[in-house]
Every structure is written in structure tokens, then in C-alpha cells.
């Protein structure tokens, strides 16, 4: 059993500290409004794949999982700890414009249960901090918002793999090209989700214009 103990202490424990450190640093970054998730995912892809005791491939896969869990944790913290607390202030709610037709249309899209295209596009394509905080201000269901965020794993995977593949760019030009492709794919996916999110909000506004524009009692 001695070799198992040494393995756990030297490899697993050290690697666990690396992953825990990335999660802690990532959460701190996500709680800052100007910081997007892309650099966090890329950084995780580089560090975890480079330090994984089970090899590059396992490290790249673990990095995607860490980034995905980190995103869900960050969304929950932004929504519950920041958004819902800010939503208690009438001044904040007025500044956000929660009674404006566009915000009411966005709220109507996000309140739909399950994985609708518009809901996924807004939650996965919208800016990290503003989207989750707004969900908290609007008192949306955390469970439903987390479900709608699940497809973000594809975006996280593309960003994380682009970081991991850059570790091997000196070995072959192939790795450099595929890393660039992954980054381009993540940017394209983000832009596509944002366009689809805006389309979903506008469609909801056009479909239920009278309901969304009438004064609230």
C-alpha cells in the first residue's frame, strides 16, 4: 500500500490542488463584471492538460469538465448572491428597466421551462455577469437557468481545447492549426448564440406585443 499512498500524495493531491486553485481563481474572475469566461477556460485548458498525471488527453478532458462545472457554479453565485440581493432595491430594478417591453420579453423567454432555443441562446450567448445577475433580479428559477445553461459545455470545450492544443504547437503545425480552429469555432458559436438570442427576444415581443407593452397594475 505504500506505493498507493505515495501516488496519491505526489500526483493526485498535487493535481487536485491545481484544479481547486483554477476553480477558486475562476470564480473570483467570474464575479467581476468586466471579465468574460473565455480566458478562464483557455487558462484551465493549458494548466490542467500540462499538469495532469494521466497524460495530455485526460488532462484536456478534465479541463473541459472543470470549466463546465466552474461556469455553472459562477452562474449560481451571480444569480443568487448578487442578482437577487440587488433585486431587493427598487432603485436597481428601476435602473435595469424590468418593466420595459424588451426586458419583459427577455423574461418571458427565460421563464419557459426546459431547453428552448431562445432560452439557451440567451443564457449561453449573453455576457456572463450581466445575464446571470439579471436573472437574479428578475427572480427566475435557478434550476431552470442552470438547465438552460447546460449546452454551454460545447463552447467551454472549444475554448478549453484551444488552450490545451497550444501546448503541442511546437510539436507539429497540425496542433497550431487545430488550436486556431477551435478558437475561431468558439468565437463563431458565441456570435451565433447572441444573434439567436436577440432574434428570440424580438420574436417574443412581436408575438405578445400587447401583453408585454401594457402598463402593469
pLDDT in tens, 73-83: 999 999 999 99
Kindly report, residue by residue over 99-154, the tens digit of the pLDDT.
899 999 999 999 988 889 999 999 999 999 999 999 999 999 999 999 999 999 99
> Can you give the pLDDT at residue 176?
87
Query: Rounded distance, CA 107 to CA 30, Å?
Result: 22
Query: Rounded distance, CA 68 to CA 65, Å?
Result: 5
At 182 the three-state DSSP class reads helix
Residue that wins the pLDDT comparison between 49 and 6: 49
> Can you give the pLDDT at residue 5?
43
> Can you give the pLDDT at residue 50?
86
Kindly report, residue by residue over 140-194, the tens digit of the pLDDT.
999 999 999 999 999 999 999 999 999 888 888 898 899 899 999 999 999 999 9
Query: Rounded distance, CA 120 to CA 208, Å?
Result: 20
Taken in order 56, 57, 59, 60, the sign of the CA dihedral is positive
Cα–Cα distances (Å) from 133 to 63, 128, 147, in that order, read: 26, 9, 16
Closest CA to 155 of 31, 77, 40, 26: 40
pTM of the predicted model over 0.95: no
> Can you give the pLDDT at residue 10?
58
Residue 13 pLDDT greater than 70, yes or no: no
Kindly report, residue by residue over 17-65, the tens digit of the pLDDT.
888 988 999 999 998 888 888 999 999 999 999 888 888 999 999 999 9
Amino acid at each position: 500500500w505504500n506505493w498507493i499512498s505515495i501516488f496519491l500524495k505526489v500526483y493526485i493531491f498535487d493535481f487536485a490542488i491545481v484544479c481547486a486553485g483554477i476553480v477558486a481563481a475562476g470564480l473570483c474572475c467570474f464575479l467581476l463584471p468586466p471579465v468574460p469566461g473565455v480566458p478562464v477556460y483557455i487558462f484551465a485548458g493549458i494548466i490542467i492538460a500540462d499538469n495532469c498525471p494521466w497524460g495530455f488527453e485526460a488532462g484536456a478532458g478534465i479541463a473541459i469538465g472543470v470549466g463546465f462545472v466552474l461556469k455553472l457554479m459562477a452562474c449560481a453565485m451571480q444569480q443568487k448572491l448578487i442578482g437577487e440581493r440587488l433585486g431587493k432595491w427598487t432603485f436597481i430594478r428601476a435602473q435595469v428597466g424590468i418593466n420595459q417591453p424588451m426586458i419583459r420579453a427577455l423574461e418571458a423567454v427565460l421563464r419557459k421551462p426546459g431547453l428552448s432555443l431562445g432560452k439557451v441562446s440567451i443564457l449561453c450567448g449573453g455576457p456572463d455577469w450581466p445575464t446571470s445577475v439579471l436573472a437574479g433580479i428578475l427572480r427566475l428559477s435557478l434550476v431552470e437557468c442552470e438547465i438552460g445553461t447546460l449546452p454551454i459545455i460545447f463552447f467551454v470545450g472549444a475554448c478549453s481545447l484551444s488552450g490545451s492544443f497550444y501546448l503541442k504547437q511546437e510539436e507539429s503545425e497540425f496542433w497550431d492549426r487545430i488550436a486556431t480552429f477551435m478558437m475561431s469555432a468558439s468565437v463563431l458559436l458565441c456570435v451565433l448564440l447572441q444573434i439567436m438570442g436577440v432574434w428570440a427576444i424580438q420574436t417574443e415581443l412581436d408575438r405578445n406585443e400587447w401583453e408585454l407593452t401594457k402598463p402593469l397594475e
